[in-house]
Structure 1
């Protein structure tokens, strides 16, 4: 059977999109190559026609996840975003409940650190989030430090809310963190 000229490129993209979703939802370690490929109707051996290793896939899937975030943000919002709006979006119940569509930092950053494989893409995403927060705050003394604290609170609250079994506790974590972080901006 003959494949279309762009079949390999399309398959490569399918693998990237599926891996980006699974890494964000399940984590890197919990995502096996064989189940990943099987979910796409592909063989485990076919993986190596597209990627050198799982580490190669992780890096490329992380880039894919960041690109997907950019596309989703552009579709929802035009122009600059206030820090308050960013906080509301990040700590939304939908972001908590759909990690496969969200920011990779809450799921992937700790694993990358534990594996001793920090990524330049993670640095890029962190710096972009910090810039978005800083741009959305009134330029005052300590805005840079405050944006680091806010971003740490965002990622940490999302991790905790996702790990809570009690839905009321999970919502309480998001709501309280949203309010407290926005209060930090007001008191800037």
Structure 2
């Protein structure tokens, strides 16, 4: 059977697309190559005709997920960052991680694996620029959860980015934004 001249490129893109969804949904460690390739009707051995390692697939998939995320949200964000915030923190985004932003699932794993990513750097930079004018204004009683979410998020992102100065800046910015209440006299 003869394949078209672009068959290999198309197959590679199919692998990246499926891996991108699975990595966002199940994590890197929770996604095995054998089930991934089987879901695409391909053999595990054929994986190595497209990628030198699972790490290479992780990077290609992260790049694809980042591009998809930025294309989906940033065009409308120029006019309405509120729409991005509302979508990002929606039940739909929470419940469909395979189609959402890769950072919540993959940032922690990349940091734990000791494999920070320049793609994470780019996503953090773009989203940070988009949200630069936002101010945190938790309702009374919500300050603790907002503070905890900010700290967990900052540490997760700081571990995921490859640029050490960007990592330090994330920690410094969130630490500086955290203002504990003065004890009552």
TM-score w.r.t. length of structure 1 = 0.70
Checking the alignment, whether the CA contact within 8 Å between 1:90 and 1:154 is kept in structure 2 is no
Correspondences of 1:33-182 after superposition (within 5 Å):
33-73=33-73, 77=76, 79-82=78-81, 84-134=82-132, 136-137=133-134, 153=150, 156=153
Distance in 1 between the 2:69 and 2:9 partners?
A: 21
Q: How many residues align?
A: 144
Please identify the structure whose Cα radius of gyration is greater: 2
Q: TM-score, normalised by structure 2?
A: 0.71
Distance 1:121 1:54, change over 3 A: same
What runs of 5+ residues in structure 2 fail to find an aligned partner? 136-145, 154-176, 178-185
Q: Which has the higher contact order (CA 8 A, sep 6+)?
A: 1
C-alpha distance in 1 between matches for 2:21 and 2:111: 19
Q: Which whole-Å CA distance do the structure 1 matches of 2:101 and 2:41 have between them?
A: 27
Tell me how far 1:128 sits from its aligned partner.
1.0
| Matches of 2:115 and 2:122, distance apart in 1 | 15
Q: Name stretches of at least 5 consecutive residues in structure 1 with no aligned partner.
A: 139-148, 157-183
Q: What is the distance in 1 between the residues matched to 2:152 and 2:65? A: 16
